Amino acid sequence: MFNANMPYRNLGKNGIKVSQFSLGGWTTFGGTVKDATTIHSILHLAYESGINFFDIADVYAKGESELMMGAVLREFPRHELVISSKVFWPMSDDINDKGLSRKHIHESIHKSLKRIGTDYLDIYYCHRYDTETPVEETVRIMDDLIHQGKILYWGTSEWTGQQIQEAIDICEKGGYYKPAVEQPQYNLLVREKMETDVIAKAVQHGMGLTTWSPLASGLLSGKYDDGIKEGRLSKIEWLKDTLYTEDNVRKVKAMKKIADEMECSRSQLALAWIAAQKGISSVILGATRIEQLQENLGALKVNITPEVDRELKQLFK
């Protein structure tokens, strides 16, 4: 894949290139968006706009996201795509159907490959750190999966710098493939862990960073300025409780002035800001409607100057 309108970035120091903006399926495809035609049109717009990286997880809509995104992704040439999935969260009540044990990862990768309809994943993420499994056990099965050709790179998601270092030390000692990428939450409202811990660790080890929830589940778009009438925060209670605070809404409202001056929307400004930060390989977008993806891709035209960066960091400190 090559599209002159889309910048492509190396995944850290690794050779594989991912589009600056990518598309994921958390809560949306197979979840709040069940209509196959809508999913088809959103994924086609993404592909036609130069997005080559599609992010899924076994647990998204309990396998439905892999099934529904996979059905569309199979329409594109496989070699052009970077497809990721993840493992960790429970998929059933079965005592072994969760976590990062050799057993669960072995069972889970085969189910994910089958649901997506592909022979291999480009990236396979450990969806959280597992306190009940020795990290060496996880590292060695990930290394095995790379040797078996079932995955090309493995990564972590929401691990701390120290946990990443633990895995890297084991890899260096044993000669195993190291994690190539970390997938953290990062947006104007959630910055601390990334900026005080994770970015430095990823850069130190040449790992890529593919960031999630860039619009804080839509809050940064400004759609909740006057309360929650529709959208994700009206459907998912715990997200509303975490994100919808007076202080967050005040900051998002204040951001409008900066966006207006730059003649872009707040969504576009928030997305362009992440892409401009150190170490970022790809910003994973989410969309329930094709118009949202269209608007969000307009972030490619937004230039974050050092002054705008400072102004935003000051506002969202």
Ligand X SMILES: NC(=O)c1ccc[n+]([C@@H]2O[C@H](COP(=O)([O-])OP(=O)(O)OC[C@H]3O[C@@H](n4cnc5c(N)ncnc54)[C@H](OP(=O)(O)O)[C@@H]3O)[C@@H](O)[C@H]2O)c1
Task: Label residue 88 left, alpha or beta by phi (over 0 means left) and psi (-120 to 50 means alpha).
Answer: left
C-beta of 79: minimal distance to ligand X in Å? 22
Q: Which amino acid is at 259?
A: A
Helices and strands per DSSP (H, E), number in the chain: 13, 10
Candidates 66, 130, 158, 182: give the one binding ligand X (CB under 6 A): 158
Mapped onto helix, strand or coil, the DSSP state of residue 83 is strand
Interface positions, 22-51, toward ligand X (CB under 6 A)? 24-26, 28, 32
Closest CB to ligand X among 99 and 214?
214
Is 58 one of the binding residues for ligand X (CB under 6 A)?
no
List the beta bridge partners of residue 210: 282
C-beta of 247: minimal distance to ligand X in Å? 18
Determine the length of the chain. Answer: 317
Is 163 one of the binding residues for ligand X (CB under 6 A)?
no
Closest CB to ligand X among 45 and 169?
45
Is 154 one of the binding residues for ligand X (CB under 6 A)?
no
Cβ atoms of 188 and 213 within 8 Å: the answer is no
CA–CA distance, 192 with 82 (Å, rounded to integer): 29
| Paired tokens of 253 | 């409202």
Cβ atoms of 23 and 46 within 8 Å: the answer is yes
Q: Note if 224 is an active site residue.
A: no
Which string of x and - marks every residue 263-292 that binds ligand X (by CB under 6 A)? ----x----------------xxxxx---x
Is 216 one of the binding residues for ligand X (CB under 6 A)?
yes
- Chain contacts with ligand X (rule: CB under 6 A): 24-26, 28, 32, 55, 157-158, 183, 212-218, 221, 223, 231-232, 267, 284-288, 292, 295-296
Q: List, by residue number, the catalytic residues.
A: 60
